[in-house]
Amino acid sequence: MASEAREGIRNVAIIAHVDHGKTTLVDAMLWQSGIFRDNESVMERVMDSIDLEREKGITIMAKNTAITYRGTRINIVDTPGHADFGGEVERTLKMVDGVLLLVDASEGPLPQTRFVLRKALESNLPPIVLINKIDRPDARPQAVLNEVYDLFIDLDATEDQLDFPVLYCNARRGTCSPSPGGPETTLEPLFEEILRSVPAPRFDPAMPLQLLVTNLDWDDYVGRLAIGRVFNGTLSRGQDVSLCGRDGRVAQIRTTGLYGYQGLKRVEITEAGPGDIVAVAGLENAGIGETLSDRENPQALPPILVDEPTIAVVIGVNSSPAAGREGEHVTSRKIKERLERETLTNVSIRVEPTDSADSFKVSGRGELQLAILVEMMRREGFEMSVGKPEVLSREIGGARHEPMEALVVDCPEVFIGVVTQKVGMRRGRMTKMVNHGTGRVRMDFRLPSRGLIGFRSEFLTDTKGTGIANHLFDGYEPWQGEIAHRGTGALVADRAGRATGNAIEHLQPRGELFISPGDEVYEGMVVGENAREADLDVNITKEKKLTNMRASTADEAIHLVPPRVMSLEQSLEFLAEDELLEVTPVSLRLRKKVLPAVKRK
Ligand SMILES: Nc1nc2c(ncn2[C@@H]2O[C@H](COP(=O)(O)OP(=O)(O)OP(=O)(O)O)[C@@H](O)[C@H]2O)c(=O)[nH]1
Ligand SMILES: [Mg+2]
């Protein structure tokens, strides 16, 4: 039993629904702790340090930082809010003794608020509730606080847990207040509250060293770094230790470096004790969920369990005629190695072999998570082919069950009809509808995860970009029946060559094209979407017939509709069963699995 407290340290995680302001709050906490010089230029959302995070404006990986407030070191872990990265949040919670739960003052609790709060309450972590973005003109802090109480009650919070402290924040300005509309000050009340209501780390002095690896990082000088929290005992630089694997094996290792955090920097330290969050070098083979322990008396901590994956794609070698021209890593061996490396750092991703030695089944928490992995690989120089995302069904009691989602839609009243109709077509049921009286409504649905594939882009079109849709995995239910996917066929190139303006002009009444004149195509490549249900083989390389009669110049001008350019996620959503997405560092091409037209008939 843990029996002593290590004063002088507090470990907190910041959790919330996507975009509610976690990373922005960390900025303000860093500034006010005096980590940066007054005139230092620091980019916004500085913790979102990965290129893709900055491009997409979302946090993908949990990251830690540390500040010192009145002599106490506060380790802060910023977590991603998007549901697909829920695995990051789950394991982050292992490192901390309390959480800051942020809730947008206008949007209120959303599906991921529920997910992260449930995980925090299950782990008995005391929450500090921060109603953020109180500067929003549509802020409704009092109502949102009531919704937060309801959520706590709904999650069976104990009396103690219901007694949470609340602060009202403007993370962008770095201010907070004890009451809505009250006087705003610096974040000092927040720092004080952390000291008061987050307990100091507790440990058992009789136990040997135990450090749980919860994250991995890379340093160009020292190589792989295992990041985790020391639960018991002490660890010094260059110490001989045991690494207890998830499979029960114990390896003997010598650590070569030990680092703590100070603001955004990693700093060398000589020793770490209970409650410290540190990075350790020298553990080339360490994986997430493993325990670093005493050399003589190794004692593993309970392994990290995260929710099961719900969606899978098949990733294989690029077998198109254009393969090998744009990428550096093209072999199945390279792809396999890369995918396996991913599973070491990302516990919610699984990789399994398939019938073919050239492709692998990769499972994860959602389309975005899988799309991000593919995007990272293409930036590293990989070429690959990716199949249509499929949900993972399960046998339960002899019957086929499928994953379900809770879907929360917020949109203007006028779109109630179209949204309920579209969700209905995807076998969704409305469970609740709240009219805020502001012209917008909030609708809760429950539908099969399958029904969400391709939903987002359609939803945005249907609500003219004004709707907000959020979803969260919500258990399994018996197979809900067929769901029609894409109601349209593909326009498929029937020969190799270069697309011509002439051919595009003649084909564009048939559907929407994805390519421009001069683009290279191959037989079996999908060049557009057919307005009709069936696929149509087309000659996209046809030159204009030369006639004896010169038409007037005005007649010659061709009118081309700009092609539809789809992102990686949109392309994955578009894919039909018999199609693949060809991904290279330069291009995304849709294609038929079977390329020759004669073999597809
Ligand atoms: N008006 C206003 N905007 C805010 C406030 N806090 C954050 N924002 C904005 O909200 C957006 C999202 O902020 P982030 O800090 O990236 O949110 P996050 O919770 O880290 O998002 P994920 O990590 O992707 O879940 C940014 O455009 C911020 O500038 C606030 O107090 N007021
Ligand atoms: Mg963030």
- What number is the average pLDDT over the span 532-542? 93
Query: Distance from the CA of 577 to the center of ligand 1, in angstroms?
Result: 38
Round to whole Å and give the CA distance between 557 and 422: 40
- CB-proximal residues (5 Å) to ion ligand 2: 22-23, 59
| Whether residue 86 has its Cβ less than 6 Å from ligand 1 | no
Q: Which of 31-45, 245-259, 553-567 has the lowest mean pLDDT?
A: 553-567
Could you tell me which of 405, 404, 385, 402 has the C-alpha nearest to residue 394? 402
Q: Is the pLDDT confidence value at 473 over 90?
A: no
Beta strands in 93-208 (DSSP E): 98-104, 127-132, 166-170, 175-177, 202-203
**Coil, helix or strand for 487?**
coil
**141 Cβ closer than 6 Å to some ligand 1 atom:** no
The DSSP letter of residue 38 is T
Q: CB neighbours of 295 closer than 8 A, spacing ≥ 6?
A: 240, 241, 242, 252
CA-CA distances (angstroms) from residue 468 to 416, 458, 464, 540? Answer: 13, 12, 11, 38
Tell me how far the alpha carbon of residue 23 lies from the centroid of ligand 1, in angstroms: 7
CA 58 / ligand 2 centre spacing (Å): 5
Average pLDDT of 292-296? 94
Q: What tens digit of pLDDT does each residue of 197-217 get?
A: 999 999 999 999 999 998 888
The model's pLDDT over 120-163, given as tens digits with 9 standing for 90+, comes to 999 999 999 999 999 999 999 999 999 999 999 988 899 989 99
Tell how far the Cα of 46 is from the centroid of ligand 1, in angstroms.
Answer: 12
Least confident segment among 1-10, 335-344, 419-428, 525-534 = 1-10
Query: Does ligand 1 lie within 6 Å of residue 170's CB atom?
Result: yes
- Mean of per-residue pLDDT scores for the chain: 90
DSSP strand E in 38-126: where? 63-69, 72-78, 98-104
Distance 16 CA to ligand 1 centre (A): 11
- Ligand 1 centre distance from Cα of residue 22 (Å): 6
Could you tell me the distance, in angstroms and rounded to a whole number, from the CA of residue 134 to the centre of ligand 2? 18
What does the pLDDT average to over 529-534? 91
Residue 550: pLDDT band (50, 70, 90) is low
Q: Is the CB of 17 under 6 A from ligand 1?
A: no
* Contact call for residues 100 and 13 (beta carbons, < 8 A): yes
Judge whether 63 and 49 are in contact, CB under 8 Å. yes
**Mean of the pLDDT values across residues 500-509?**
92
Q: Is 110 in the pocket of ligand 1 (CB under 6 A)?
A: no
pLDDT bin (cut points 50, 70, 90) of residue 547 is low
DSSP labels for 121-137?
A: HHTTPPEEEEEE-TTST
Is the beta carbon of 56 within 6 A of some atom in ligand 1? Answer: no
Single pTM value for the model: 0.82
Residue with the smallest CA separation from ligand 1 atom 7 is 21
User: Which residue did the predictor score with more confidence, 477 or 3?
Assistant: 477
Cβ of 16 less than 6 Å from ligand 1 = yes
Across 200-214, 467-481, 559-573, the highest mean pLDDT is recorded for 200-214
- pLDDT for res 83: 82
Residues 68, 195: Cα–Cα separation, whole Å: 11
Whether 16 shows a pLDDT value over 60: the answer reads yes
Nearest atom (ligand 1) to Cα of 81: 25
- Cβ of 112 closer than 6 Å to ligand 1, yes or no, is no
| Distance between Cα 28 and ligand 2 center (Å) | 13
**How far is residue 339 CA from its own chain's centroid?**
17
Q: 438: pLDDT confidence band, cut at 50, 70 and 90?
A: confident
Q: Whose CA is nearest to atom 23 of ligand 1?
A: 59
Closest C-alpha residue for ligand 1 atom 21: 19
Q: Indicate whether residue 125 lines ligand 1 (CB < 6 A).
A: no
**How deeply is 180 buried, as exposed, middle or buried, from its count of CB atoms within 10 A (0-12, 13-18, 19+)?**
middle
**What span, in angstroms and rounded, lies between the C-alpha atoms of 460 and 453?**
14
Asked if residue 53 has its Cβ within 6 Å of ligand 1, the reply is no
Alpha carbons 344 and 329: distance in angstroms, whole number? 20
pLDDT digits (tens, 9 = 90+) for 319-377: 999 999 999 999 999 999 999 988 877 778 999 999 999 999 999 988 889 999 999 99
Ligand 1 contact via 184 beta carbon (within 6 Å): no
Token couple for 447: 């539908």
**pLDDT for 265 beyond 90:** no
Determine which helix (DSSP H) or strand (DSSP E) holds 599, and give its type and residue range: helix 597-600
* Cβ–ligand 1 contact at 21 (below 6 Å): yes
373 neighbors 340 (Cβ within 8 angstroms): no
Work out the pLDDT band at 554, boundaries 50, 70, 90.
very low
pLDDT for 520 equals: 95
Q: What are phi and psi of 27, to 5 degrees?
A: -50, -50
Mean pLDDT of 586-597: 95
Q: How much helix, strand and coil, in percent to the nearest 5, is found in the chain?
A: 25, 35, 40
Q: What is the rounded distance in angstroms from the CA atom of residue 30 to the CA atom of residue 485? A: 47
- pLDDT tens for each residue of 57-115: 898 888 899 999 999 999 999 999 988 888 888 888 999 999 999 999 999 998 889 88
Distance between CA atoms of residues 49 and 29, nearest Å: 17
So what's the pLDDT on residue 548? 56
Report the nearest-CA residue for atom 10 of ligand 1.
Answer: 21
pLDDT the model gives residue 552: 47
The preferred substitution site among 116, 172, 173, 468 for testing ligand 1, maximizing ligand atoms within 8 Å of CB, is 172
Q: Which residue has the higher pLDDT, 225 or 344?
A: 225
Ligand 1, atom nearest to 24 Cα: 15
Q: Please say if the pLDDT value at position 586 is more than 60.
A: yes
Alpha-carbon torsion 292, 296, 301, 305, what sign? positive
Whole-number Å distance, alpha carbon 13 to ligand 2 midpoint, is: 12
- pLDDT per residue over 376-423, tens digit each? 999 999 999 999 999 999 999 999 999 999 999 989 999 999 999 999
Of all protein residues, the one whose alpha carbon is nearest to atom 30 of ligand 1 is: 133
DSSP 199: P
The rounded Å distance from CA 81 to ligand 2 centre is: 7
Q: Is 19 near ligand 1, meaning CB less than 6 Å away?
A: yes
Give the pLDDT of residue 68: 93
Q: Using a 6 Å cutoff on CB, does residue 171 contact ligand 1?
A: yes
Of ligand 1's listed atoms, the one at least distance from the Cα of 79 is 23
Mutation choice for ligand 1 from 15, 19, 187, CB with most ligand atoms inside 8 A: 19
Please indicate whether residue 81, judged by its CB atom, sits closer than 6 Å to ligand 1: yes
- Supply the pLDDT for residue 318: 97
For the CA of 44, the closest atom of ligand 1 is: 29
What distance in Å separates the CA atoms of residue 218 and residue 501, rounded to the nearest whole number? Answer: 48
